[in-house]
Chain A
Amino acid sequence: MESFKIAEHRVVLRHCGRIDPTRIEDYLAHDGYAALKEALTQGSPTAVLKAIKASGLRGRGGAAFPTGVKWETAARTQAPERFVVCNADEGEPGTWKDRVLLEGDPHSIIEGMILCGYAIGARRGYFYIRGEYTHAIALMAQALEQARSLGFLGQNLLGSGFNFDVEIRTGAGAYVCGEETALLNSIEGGRGEPRLKPPYPAAAGLWGSPTVVNNVETLANVPVILTRGVEWFRSLGTQRCPGTKVLTLSGDVTRPGVYEVPMGAPLRQIIFDLAGGIANGSRFKVAQVGGASGALVAESQLDTPLDYDQMAALGLTLGAGAIMVLDERRCMVDVAAAWARFFHRESCGQCTPCREGTLQLVSILEGVAHGEATREHLELLAELADVMRWTSLCALGQTAPLAISQAIQLFADEFAAHIESRRCPAGVCRFPATLPVRG
C-alpha cells in the first residue's frame, strides 16, 4: 500500500479545547442548539428520525447498531412512556474518549439527547456517568442547569409543546454497567447485572418501557448531522460506516492520545503517523483494538481499514475505538494474565460460565506465568474459551477469552517457553526457585 500521511478530521471533537465547556454561550456561538431550534420550530419528530436513519450513523459504543433503526423501534413501540439513556459508563481499559467529550463539549451530547427524545417521543432522559468521572459529572450538572435556564430542557421547549428533562445518575465502580441492560438495572436501583436479550431496550428497557440507550459519541454526532446534513455526513468515512471515529491510543506509542479520523482509515497510519509510531525506538509487537474485550491485530493486518464491517470480516473488532499498542518488550503471558484478572474482577457473578470461567482463566494464565502449567492447561483453556463464548449471558463473559485465545495462537513460542523451559523471553515473568511437585 502506498504510504500517505493521514490527517485528523475533527467532527465530534470539533469543539473540544476550542470552546469553554462551562459556558453555554460559547456553545451557542458555535451553532449550538441550532439543530434543536430548527427541529422544534420548523421540523418534526419524523423528520429528525428520517435524517438520522438516512445518515447511516451507527452506535459508537462498540456494537455498531444503526442508530436510526434503534430510534425507530422505540418510537414505533406502543407505550405510555419512553426514555433516552446516555451511556457514559466508559470503563473499557484503553478508552477515555467519552470523558474527553463530556469534559470538552457537554452541550453537544445534551442536544443530541434532546433531539433523540423529540424523535422518539420521550419526556425523560438519564445520563449514566461512571462514578470515577467526578469532573465530568460536575460539568454535566452545570451544563444541564444552563440548558434548563435557557428553555432547552423542561416544559414546552421553545414553545413547541414538547417536554423533556434529563437527570444524571452516577455509577459506583462497575465495568459491567457499561452493558446497556446492566446499566438499566443500575438506574432502577438494582445490582448492575445484565438482562437476557431479547427483549432489547428499544422495545422494553427502563421499567419495561421503550428505551434508547446511546453512547456519548453517538449522541454527540446527532446535532452536527442535522446542522450540516445527511449528504455531508455520508461523504465522510465508508459506505457502510459513514462519519468519523474517535480513537484513543495508549500503550507503547510516542504520542498517546485522543484522535478522530474518518471511518476506514488504516490502522498503520493511525499508529505510525498520528501517534508517532512506537516509543523509544522499540519495535511493534501487537495492537489490541477495542479495549480489553477487543481482538489482537498482528503486524500483517495493520493495513485493515478501521470500520466495523471490514474489521469484523477478519475476526477483528473496532469496539469503542481503543487502540492499545504493545512493543516487543512486553510479555504476552503477563499481559494475558492481566486481561484475565480484569475480567475476573469485573464479572458480575450472575452466570456460571463467566463467574467460574474468568476465575479459571486467571488460574491457568498465572500458572503459565509462574512456570507451573503444562500443555494440557492450554488445551483446557481453549475448551473453556469456547464454552464462555457460547454460553455467557452478556458480552463480558463472551469476549473475555477473545484476546487471550488469540495471544496463545499468535505468540505460541512465548507460551511454550514459559511452559517447557520456565523461561520468559521478554524477561518480565519471575519463576519460583524450585519446580512444584506434580502429582
Chain B
Amino acid sequence: MTGAPESPTPTPVPAAPGIAPHQPPTRSGLLPALCAVQGRSGYLSRQELTELSRSMSLPLSEVYGVATFYSLLSLAPRGKVVVHVCDSPTCHSRAVQGLLPAFQDALGIGPGETTSDGRFSLERASCLGHCGEAPVMASDHQVHGKMSPREVPEWLSRSPGKEV
C-alpha cells in the first residue's frame, strides 16, 4: 500500500482504531484521485496522469483507460465556464428548436470544444436529473431549467466567462 495519492477520496472516512477495518486495494482510489486532480487543475494533463500512474504503481495505459471512460473527466484544458447542455430524450422532446444547437450557434463551437478565447467549453450531457424542468443546462454546479433557446445569448452575456 505504498505511494497512494494524498486524500484520494472526496470524503475520507477516519480510520477506526482497534479492529482493523477493510482496506480497499490502492487501485480503488484511482477514480477519486483523477477527480481530485481535475478539481484542482481543471483537466487531466499527460504529466499528471503519468505521475498518478507512478504513485499508484499502475500502467499509464490503465490510468488513461479509466480517465477516458468518464464523460466528466477531460484530458484537454477547458474553458473558464463549462456549459453542460442536456441532450437526453426527455429534454430533447421538450425543446423542439433545440437548446444544444442554440449554444453551438451562439458560441460557434460544437460539443466537446472550447472557444478560442478560452472562455467557454460546451459539453453534451446525457441526463442531469432535472427532467421536470426540461430543457435544462448546468454550469458551475448550478442547474438552469426551462431554458428557452432564445435565452441563450443573454445567459452567455451574464455568465462569468464574459467578464475576463
Q: Once the chains bind, are B126 and A91 in contact (CB under 8 Å)?
A: yes
**A257 contacts which chain B residues (CB < 8 A)?**
132
Contact B89 A93 (CB under 8 A): yes
Complex-state Cα separation, A26 to B161, whole angstroms: 40
List residues of chain B with CB within 8 A of the CB of A173: 70-73, 126
Judged by a CB distance under 8 angstroms, whether A165 is at the interface is: yes
Chain B residues near A124 (CB, 8 Å)? Answer: 21-22
B88 to chain A minimum Cβ distance, whole angstroms, is 4
Cβ-defined partner of B35 (8 Å) among A170, A252, A339 = A170
The chain A residue sitting closest to B127, CB to CB, is A93
Interface string of B88-103 (1 = CB under 8 A from A): 1111111010000000
A96 beta carbon closer than 8 Å to chain B: yes
* Complex contact A171–B70 (CB within 8 A): yes
Contact A292 B66 (CB under 8 A): no
A190 touches B66 (CB 8 A): yes
Query: In the complex, what's the smallest C-beta–C-beta distance from A153 to chain B, in angstroms?
Result: 9
Q: Which of B11, B30, B125, B127 contacts A92 (CB 8 A)?
A: B127
- On chain B, the residues within 8 Å of A335 by CB distance are 89, 92-93
| Residue A428 lies at the interface, judged by CB distance under 8 Å to chain B | yes
Q: Which of B9, B19, B29, B90 contacts A324 (CB under 8 A)? A: B90
- B-contact bits for A336-362, CB 8 A (1 contact / 0 none): 001101100110100000000000000
| Interchain CB contact under 8 A, B10 and A172 | no
Q: Does B49 contact A (CB under 8 A)?
A: no
Interface size on B, residues (CB 8 A): 50
Q: Choose, from A46-54, A130-138, A233-241, A310-318, the stretch at the interface.
A: A130-138
A137 CB contacts on chain B under 8 angstroms: 10
The 0/1 profile, CB within 8 Å of A marked 1, for residues 125-138 of chain B is 11111111110001
Assembled-state Cα–Cα distance A99/B133 (Å): 14
Q: Which residue of A lies closest to B18 (CB)?
A: A155
Q: Are B27 and A188 in contact (CB under 8 A)?
A: yes
The residues of A that contact B72 with a CB separation of less than 8 Å are 131-132, 172-173
Q: Are B131 and A248 in contact (CB under 8 A)?
A: yes
Interface residue B1 (Cβ < 8 Å from any Cβ of A)? no
The proximity string for A residues 151-188 relative to B, scoring 1 for CB distances below 8 Å and 0 otherwise, is 00011000000010111111111110000000000111
Taking a contact as CB atoms under 8 Å apart, the answer to whether B131 and A172 are in contact is no
Cβ of A67: which chain B residues have Cβ within 8 Å of it? none
Given contacts A133-B129, A163-B16, A175-B127, contact A93 B90 (CB under 8 A): yes
Q: Is A250 on the interface with B (CB-CB < 8 A)?
A: yes
Contact A96-B132, Cβ < 8 Å, known A91-B126, A132-B72, A135-B141: yes
- Count A-B contacts at CB 8 Å: 162
The answer to whether the Cβ of A107 comes within 8 Å of any Cβ in the partner chain is no
Q: Tell me if A191 and B65 are in contact (CB < 8 A).
A: yes
* Contacts known (A171-B70, A186-B31, A341-B87); A163 close to B92, Cβ less than 8 A: no
CA distance A141 to B138 in the complex (A): 22
The yes or no answer to B110 lying at the interface (CB within 8 A) is no
Whole-angstrom distance from the CB of B62 to the nearest CB of chain A? Answer: 8
| Neighbouring A residues of B19 by C-beta, 8 Å | 155, 163
B85 an interface residue at 8 Å Cβ cutoff? no
Q: Are A96 and B10 in contact (CB under 8 A)?
A: no
- A91 contacts which of B28, B89, B94, B127 (Cβ < 8 Å)? B127
Q: How far in angstroms is the closest Cβ of chain B from A315?
A: 20
Given A93-B127, A165-B16, A167-B11, also A250-B30 (CB < 8 A)? no
Q: Is A94 an interface residue (CB 8 A)?
A: yes
How many angstroms from the CA of A186 to the CA of B10 in the assembled complex? Answer: 15
In the complex, the chain B residue whose C-beta lies closest to that of A330 is B93
In this assembly, does B164 line the interface, its C-beta being within 8 Å of a C-beta of chain A? no
Q: Which residues from chain A contact B133 at a C-beta distance below 8 Å?
A: 256
A263 to B11, CA, bound (A): 36
Distance of A367 from chain B, by nearest CB (Å): 18
How close is A385's CB to chain B, nearest CB, in angstroms?
17
> Is A74's beta carbon under 8 Å from chain B?
no
Contact B126 A168 (CB under 8 A): no
Question: Is there a chain A Cβ closer than 8 Å to B149's Cβ?
Answer: no
Interface centre among B16, B35, B88, B94 (most CB of A within 10 A): B88
Whether B66 pairs with A189 at a CB distance below 8 angstroms is yes
Is A326 within 8 A of B93, CB to CB? Answer: yes
**Roughly how many angstroms separate A99 CA and B127 CA in the complex, as a whole number?**
13
Inter-chain contact A250/B70, CB cutoff 8 Å: no
B70 A167 Cβ-Cβ under 8 A: no
Complex A-B, nearest 4 residue pairs according to Cβ-Cβ distance, in ascending order: A172-B70, A173-B71, A173-B72, A189-B30
Q: Given A257-B132, A342-B87, 9 more contacts at CB 8 Å? A: A94-B90, A123-B22, A167-B12, A168-B11, A172-B71, A173-B71, A186-B31, A189-B31, A256-B133
Interface residues of A (CB under 8 A from B): 81, 83, 90-96, 99, 123-124, 130-135, 137, 141, 144, 154-155, 163, 165-175, 186-192, 207, 248-252, 256-258, 292, 322, 324, 326, 330, 334-335, 338-339, 341-342, 345-346, 348, 428
